[in-house]
Amino acid sequence: MRNLFDSLSRGFLLIAVGLIFLLINFGLLPWSFWLSVVDLWPLLLILIGISFLFKKKVPFSAVLLVFLLVLAGYSLVFGPQTIPHGYFPMHRTPFGEAQESGVLTTEVQLPAGVTKASLDLNLGGAKVNLQTLTAQKEGAYLMAGTYRWDSAFASDQPSLASCQTGDRMDVTLSSQNKGGSRDRLDLGLNRTVHYDVKLNAGAINGDLDFSEIPLDSLRVNTGASKFRLAFGDTGIPLQVKVNTGASDLTLAVPDPVGLHVHVSGVASNTDFMGSGLFLDKKDWHSPGYDQAKTKIDLEISMAAGSLHLDRSVANTGSL
């Protein structure tokens, strides 16, 4: 059985290496991917340590495979974007600029009677800045902002769709740009509407400020990312699920808010000690959770990385 696992892991490792070189040749992954090893080499030590804990039952090829996959996701957001001198990837101009680029206006009007909305964000890799709408726009728009993309293929152009059913508006913003580390989403949401938000992304880097948004639920699925989630004392019970890879995640939650956090992962690190939360088995709780006007339950699954908590009031502005 062990020999079979060794053979499978070696085979998948070779397939992964081949796919990475193929993506690089087609301009979907930058050559700077390999430079990300400088940032993530400690993760390799962690994975090797886990292998030793299992008495080397996990083959080294499997360790390298996991490290390679994390490296690929990480490089989409954090890796240097320089292109080696003399190398011009396929489907790119001689100066390394994508042939297809532009700006999509993400404005969705607010019809009369709409009080609820679902927002699905399906992104490859992007910088994301999510805030509240300005008071001038709230009377007319459910959401407004821009999506800037830079891609080698016309098919990667983002799309925006919306549909109203009674008092509810369903909105989907999608981009297939898997190498979109230079893509940027700036989006403002309406403070008078209750939202269910789903974010699926290969990797993100940015700030998602829901401190003044009436959220009913939030689901985030990403690869290697660095982002901040800010919540407010809205008086609404909130369920949050975050599933992410090797990431750096900051939670900004005001002191009056009752907080319950469940963290799982192979090598995740938290700085919750000294934040006022207490640990009960594998869950963190804030004092007075049951009496709090606003309760937030967070379930966070992180393959590896760091989780930070800021209990000061967070509000970064409007769009």
pLDDT digits (tens, 9 = 90+) for 241-272: 999 887 889 999 998 899 999 988 765 678 78
Examine the domain organization and report whether 66 and 113 are in the same domain: no
260/64: higher pLDDT: 260
Quote the pLDDT of residue 34.
61
Pick the last residue of a domain from 77, 108, 143: 77
Which among 2-6, 151-155, 222-226, 259-263 has the top mean pLDDT?
Answer: 259-263
Percent of the chain with pLDDT over 90: 40
Examine the domain organization and report whether 65 and 140 are in the same domain: no
- pLDDT tens track for 68-103: 777 777 665 554 443 333 333 333 434 334 445 788
Quote the pLDDT of residue 62.
75
Question: What pTM was computed for the model?
Answer: 0.69
Examine the domain organization and report whether 286 and 144 are in the same domain: yes
Examine the domain organization and report whether 67 and 191 are in the same domain: no
Task: State the average pLDDT over residues 14-42.
Answer: 66
Pick the last residue of a domain from 42, 77, 112: 77
- Is position 21 within any domain? yes
Confidence of residue 32 (pLDDT cuts 50, 70, 90): low
Examine the domain organization and report whether 67 and 127 are in the same domain: no
Query: Is the pLDDT confidence value at 152 over 80?
Result: no
How many domains, the chain? 2
Query: Is the pLDDT confidence value at 285 over 60?
Result: yes
What does the buried/exposed string (b/e) look like for 186-202 if buried means 16 or more CB atoms within 10 Å of the residue's CB? bbbbbeebbbbbbbebb
211/314: higher pLDDT: 211
Task: State the average pLDDT over residues 205-212.
Answer: 94
- Is position 190 within any domain? yes
Query: Is the pLDDT confidence value at 304 over 50?
Result: yes
Query: Is the pLDDT confidence value at 158 over 60?
Result: yes
Range of the domain at 145: 100-310
